[in-house]
Amino acid sequence: MNTTTRLLIAASICVALAACTKKVKEVPPSDTGPDTSGTTTGAIPDGTGRYTPADLDTDSCLRQRVIYFDFDQDTLRPEFQAPVACHAKYLRDRPEARMTLEGNADERGTREYNLGLGERRGNAVSAAIQGNGGSAGQMSVVSYGEERPTCADSTEDCWSRNRRVEIVYTTK
């Protein structure tokens, strides 16, 4: 997908989200990979409609900090648009917040290829967050390639858990 197409998609998402004034609620997807379901808390502690650092632990949309990818892909799957929008809103609401996007790959492929794939996946999540209004200055991308697996078996289920980007808040 070329840059122009990605920008048009990101702009469309921004326009659609700008019409909403409420938090994005997560709809449990049918098959998104490991540990991606949950319900929202609904309450906003400060009463202003803005996220607070406490929401990182209580809001299920913000608690979802792992974005999974398909084999050999660096494009965001549709079921992860809502969590990405929540994290973008958090960054908009908290200009002092900082995050690291840690790209990972499964064990298949060369070390160099997997490092590049992890970086492309991290950049894809960064672009999606920026497309939803998050600031590039609040994010950094690092790739671990195949070096930090969550599962060590050589099965499709295990590989699918290793193809991910983890969102790590370094400053809340």
Domains and CATH numbers, the chain: 52-171 (3.30.1330.60)
Q: Which amino acid is at 107?
A: E
pTM, entire model: 0.73
| CA gap 74, 46 in Å, rounded | 36
**Contact between residue 158 and residue 152 where contact means Cβ atoms under 8 Å apart:** yes
Supply the pLDDT for residue 88: 98
What does pLDDT average to in each consecutive run of 10 residues of the chain (172 residues)? 55 46 39 42 58 95 97 95 97 97 96 97 98 97 97 95 97 94
Supply the pLDDT for residue 15: 42
Supply the pLDDT for residue 164: 98
**Which helix (H) or strand (E) segment is 126 a member of?**
helix 111-131
Rg of the chain, C-alpha, whole Å: 16
Supply the pLDDT for residue 6: 58
Within a 10 A sphere around the Cβ of 72, how many other Cβ atoms?
12
Supply the pLDDT for residue 73: 94
Supply the pLDDT for residue 4: 54
Place of tokens 């958090």: 90
| CA gap 12, 7 in Å, rounded | 8
Within a 10 A sphere around the Cβ of 135, how many other Cβ atoms?
14
Burial of 47: CB neighbours in 10 Å, binned 0-12, 13-18, 19+: exposed
